[in-house]
Amino acid sequence: MVYNWPLRPQWLIPSHCQLCLAKDPSGLNLCRACHDDLPWLTLACPRCSLPLHYPGQLCGACQHHPPIFDTGIALFHYAPPVDQLILQLKFAAGLHQARLFAALLGARLAKVPSPDCIIPVPLHPSRQRERGFNQAIEIARPLSQQLRCPLDIESCIRTRPTPPQSLLSGSQRRSNLRDAFALTRPLQARHVALVDDVLTTGSTLNAVAKLLRKAGAERIDVWVCARTHRNA
């Protein structure tokens, strides 16, 4: 796999920034200057985290058809170099990137009301076997430790493999996720945070939120690393 900026395995240069190679004692392989230069998402729709140019208001889509989840927080625009960090996490088993995202998300969420549990968006077992891990779990696990909030990776499962939403038309997207998720036991939590790497159409997170809502969840927050600029 070819990357367009110098990603290097952290075990080769454990105390250096992975972006500029400056010395970095933080343990995150990200120096302060590169941290500050990341494409932080500061103005966004509070419901679906769509990037906006004005603060504090719902986006047009959420004013008419809000998602089932109640709040959405995305750390970054889906833009360089974060898009490459996420690709590395998913397709090159860059699990140290999951720890980095968890640390940054944890800092961002320190003042957000704590949910009863964190549920990472499940992968179908066949996809998880193929990849060797679920990136949402890898982000959610250290995040749950940092926030001292229980992690639940057993209640919600993916019952069938589904093609990526981005490859489908509108009507295919709607049917693609129908009954794609299920609960394995009654939901105890009333306030749940769903975690995923990227929010693109929001339809996957919405499908899980629908299931949790039906099972009695009163508040559902969505926490993701990055948000694309359009709901498509």
117 binding Zn ion? (CB under 5 A): no
Q: Is the dihedral of CA 59, 173, 132, 6 positive or negative?
A: negative
Q: Which is nearer to Zn ion, 22 or 182 (CB)?
A: 22
Q: Which is nearer to Zn ion, 47 or 77 (CB)?
A: 47
Full strand arrangement of the beta sheet holding 117-120: 71-77, 219-227, 191-199, 117-120
Amino acid symbol at 207: A
User: Which positions from 182 to 221 touch Zn ion by CB under 5 A, shown as an x/- string?
Assistant: ----------------------------------------
Q: Is the dihedral of CA 7, 119, 182, 58 positive or negative?
A: negative
Could you say which of 7, 44, 50, 136 contacts Zn ion (CB under 5 A)? 50
User: Binders of Zn ion: how many residues, by CB under 5 A?
Assistant: 12
Least distance between Zn ion and beta carbon 45 (Å) = 3
Please report, as residue ranges, which positions from 54 to 93 form the binding site for Zn ion (by CB under 5 A). Answer: 59, 62
Least distance between Zn ion and beta carbon 106 (Å) = 20
User: Which positions from 1 to 40 touch Zn ion by CB under 5 A, shown as an x/- string?
Assistant: ----------------x-xx-x--------x--x------
Q: Which residues sit at the interface with Zn ion, rule CB under 5 A?
A: 17, 19-20, 22, 31, 34, 45, 47-48, 50, 59, 62
